[in-house]
Homo-oligomer: A and B are copies of this chain.
Amino acid sequence: MNAVNKDVQLFKNHLVQKRLKLTRQRETILEAFLKTDHITAEELYRKLSGRKQGRRLALATIYRTLNLLCEIGIGQQRHFDDNKTIYDNVLHKKHHDHLICNKCDKIIEFESPAIERLQEEMATRHGFTLHHHRLELYGHCIDWENCRDRQRAAPR
Protein backbone atom coordinates (compact mmCIF):
# COMPACT_ATOMS: atom_id res chain seq x y z
CA MET A 1 0.00 0.00 0.00
CA ASN A 2 1.60 3.25 -1.12
CA ALA A 3 1.54 6.52 0.79
CA VAL A 4 -1.44 8.01 -1.02
CA ASN A 5 -3.62 4.99 -0.46
CA LYS A 6 -2.70 5.05 3.18
CA ASP A 7 -3.92 8.63 3.37
CA VAL A 8 -7.16 7.73 1.63
CA GLN A 9 -7.60 4.88 4.08
CA LEU A 10 -7.14 7.30 6.94
CA PHE A 11 -9.90 9.42 5.48
CA LYS A 12 -12.21 6.43 5.14
CA ASN A 13 -11.66 5.54 8.77
CA HIS A 14 -12.66 9.04 9.78
CA LEU A 15 -15.82 8.73 7.74
CA VAL A 16 -16.77 5.46 9.37
CA GLN A 17 -16.13 6.90 12.81
CA LYS A 18 -18.42 9.82 12.09
CA ARG A 19 -21.02 7.61 10.43
CA LEU A 20 -20.51 9.39 7.13
CA LYS A 21 -20.61 7.82 3.71
CA LEU A 22 -17.86 7.39 1.22
CA THR A 23 -19.00 8.87 -2.08
CA ARG A 24 -17.41 9.09 -5.47
CA GLN A 25 -17.22 12.90 -5.20
CA ARG A 26 -15.59 12.83 -1.76
CA GLU A 27 -12.97 10.48 -3.06
CA THR A 28 -12.33 12.61 -6.13
CA ILE A 29 -11.99 15.77 -4.09
CA LEU A 30 -9.75 14.18 -1.49
CA GLU A 31 -7.36 12.84 -4.11
CA ALA A 32 -7.04 16.17 -5.86
CA PHE A 33 -6.68 18.00 -2.57
CA LEU A 34 -3.88 15.77 -1.37
CA LYS A 35 -1.91 16.49 -4.51
CA THR A 36 -1.63 20.18 -3.69
CA ASP A 37 -0.25 22.25 -0.87
CA HIS A 38 -2.64 25.22 -0.92
CA ILE A 39 -5.75 25.56 -3.05
CA THR A 40 -9.04 27.45 -3.16
CA ALA A 41 -12.45 25.87 -3.60
CA GLU A 42 -12.81 27.64 -6.93
CA GLU A 43 -9.50 26.29 -8.20
CA LEU A 44 -10.38 22.77 -7.19
CA TYR A 45 -13.73 23.20 -8.85
CA ARG A 46 -12.18 24.25 -12.15
CA LYS A 47 -9.73 21.39 -11.95
CA LEU A 48 -12.38 18.75 -11.32
CA SER A 49 -15.33 20.06 -13.29
CA GLY A 50 -13.90 20.07 -16.77
CA ARG A 51 -13.60 16.32 -16.57
CA LYS A 52 -14.41 13.73 -19.22
CA GLN A 53 -17.45 11.48 -18.96
CA GLY A 54 -19.75 13.94 -17.25
CA ARG A 55 -18.02 13.84 -13.87
CA ARG A 56 -19.74 16.96 -12.72
CA LEU A 57 -19.17 18.24 -9.20
CA ALA A 58 -21.19 21.03 -7.63
CA LEU A 59 -19.18 23.86 -6.14
CA ALA A 60 -21.23 23.42 -2.98
CA THR A 61 -19.95 19.88 -2.70
CA ILE A 62 -16.38 21.09 -2.98
CA TYR A 63 -16.98 23.53 -0.14
CA ARG A 64 -18.69 20.88 1.96
CA THR A 65 -15.95 18.35 1.46
CA LEU A 66 -13.16 20.83 2.01
CA ASN A 67 -14.78 21.86 5.27
CA LEU A 68 -15.13 18.22 6.21
CA LEU A 69 -11.42 17.75 5.64
CA CYS A 70 -10.79 20.66 7.97
CA GLU A 71 -12.97 19.14 10.67
CA ILE A 72 -11.06 15.90 10.33
CA GLY A 73 -7.78 17.77 10.61
CA ILE A 74 -6.43 17.03 7.15
CA GLY A 75 -6.98 20.61 6.00
CA GLN A 76 -6.88 24.09 7.44
CA GLN A 77 -8.44 27.31 6.24
CA ARG A 78 -6.13 30.24 5.59
CA HIS A 79 -7.06 33.79 4.82
CA PHE A 80 -4.28 35.60 3.06
CA ASP A 81 -4.55 39.08 1.54
CA ASP A 82 -6.66 37.72 -1.25
CA ASN A 83 -10.27 37.55 -0.11
CA LYS A 84 -10.86 33.91 -0.88
CA THR A 85 -10.25 31.11 1.56
CA ILE A 86 -7.23 28.98 0.83
CA TYR A 87 -7.29 25.39 2.03
CA ASP A 88 -3.97 24.20 3.34
CA ASN A 89 -3.20 20.51 3.02
CA VAL A 90 -1.71 19.91 6.45
CA LEU A 91 -1.61 16.15 6.37
CA HIS A 92 1.82 15.10 7.62
CA LYS A 93 2.66 18.72 8.41
CA LYS A 94 3.26 20.37 11.75
CA HIS A 95 2.46 24.01 12.57
CA HIS A 96 3.94 26.49 10.14
CA ASP A 97 3.55 30.08 8.99
CA HIS A 98 3.75 31.53 5.49
CA LEU A 99 5.79 33.75 3.23
CA ILE A 100 3.75 34.94 0.24
CA CYS A 101 5.06 36.52 -2.97
CA ASN A 102 2.86 39.37 -4.14
CA LYS A 103 4.19 39.03 -7.65
CA CYS A 104 3.90 35.35 -8.46
CA ASP A 105 1.68 34.18 -5.60
CA LYS A 106 4.20 31.59 -4.53
CA ILE A 107 3.62 30.40 -0.98
CA ILE A 108 6.53 29.28 1.16
CA GLU A 109 6.00 27.54 4.45
CA PHE A 110 8.38 28.17 7.29
CA GLU A 111 8.60 27.73 10.99
CA SER A 112 10.55 29.77 13.46
CA PRO A 113 10.76 28.42 16.99
CA ALA A 114 12.39 31.70 17.97
CA ILE A 115 9.40 33.72 16.78
CA GLU A 116 6.97 31.29 18.37
CA ARG A 117 8.80 31.69 21.66
CA LEU A 118 8.69 35.46 21.47
CA GLN A 119 4.98 35.37 20.70
CA GLU A 120 4.36 33.37 23.85
CA GLU A 121 6.46 35.76 25.83
CA MET A 122 4.57 38.74 24.44
CA ALA A 123 1.25 37.14 25.34
CA THR A 124 2.36 36.31 28.84
CA ARG A 125 3.63 39.81 29.34
CA HIS A 126 0.10 41.09 28.64
CA GLY A 127 -1.62 38.50 30.81
CA PHE A 128 -2.86 36.39 27.94
CA THR A 129 -3.06 32.68 27.29
CA LEU A 130 -2.46 32.03 23.61
CA HIS A 131 -4.81 29.83 21.59
CA HIS A 132 -3.59 30.41 18.09
CA HIS A 133 -1.90 33.01 15.98
CA ARG A 134 -1.54 34.18 12.44
CA LEU A 135 1.77 35.19 10.96
CA GLU A 136 2.02 36.03 7.29
CA LEU A 137 4.95 37.70 5.58
CA TYR A 138 4.29 39.39 2.25
CA GLY A 139 6.90 40.52 -0.21
CA HIS A 140 8.42 39.37 -3.44
CA CYS A 141 11.06 36.98 -4.66
CA ILE A 142 14.36 38.75 -5.17
CA ASP A 143 15.22 36.33 -7.93
CA TRP A 144 13.02 36.94 -10.97
CA GLU A 145 13.73 33.60 -12.53
CA ASN A 146 12.50 31.87 -9.48
CA CYS A 147 9.58 34.22 -9.27
CA ARG A 148 8.43 33.48 -12.78
CA ASP A 149 7.80 29.81 -12.12
CA ARG A 150 4.39 30.35 -10.70
CA GLN A 151 2.81 27.92 -8.35
CA ARG A 152 -0.61 29.49 -8.27
CA ALA A 153 -3.11 30.11 -11.07
CA ALA A 154 -3.24 33.82 -11.85
CA PRO A 155 -0.63 36.44 -11.04
CA ARG A 156 -1.91 39.46 -9.20
Question: How would residues 122 to 156 of chain A score, 1 for a CB under 8 Å from any chain B CB and 0 otherwise?
Answer: 11001111111111111111110010000000000
A93 to B114, CA, bound (A): 27
A128 to B115, CA, bound (A): 18
Instruction: List, in ascending order, chain B residues with CB within 8 A of A123's CB.
Output: 99, 137, 139
Q: How large is the interface on A (under 10, 10 to 19, 20 to 34, 35 or more residues)?
A: 20 to 34
- Determine how close the nearest CB of chain B comes to the CB of A149; give it in whole angstroms: 13
Most buried by B among A137, A138, A140, A142: A137
- Given contacts A128-B140, A130-B139, A139-B131, are A112 and B101 in contact (CB under 8 A)? no
A116 to B35, CA, bound (A): 34
Most buried by B among A79, A114, A139, A142: A139
- Given contacts A79-B79, A115-B115, are A130 and B122 in contact (CB under 8 A)? no
**3 A-B pairs with the lowest CB-CB distances in the bound complex, closest first:** A130-B139, A128-B139, A134-B136
Residues in A lying within 8 Å of B, measured CB to CB: 79, 99, 101-102, 108, 110, 112, 114-115, 118-119, 122-123, 126-143, 146
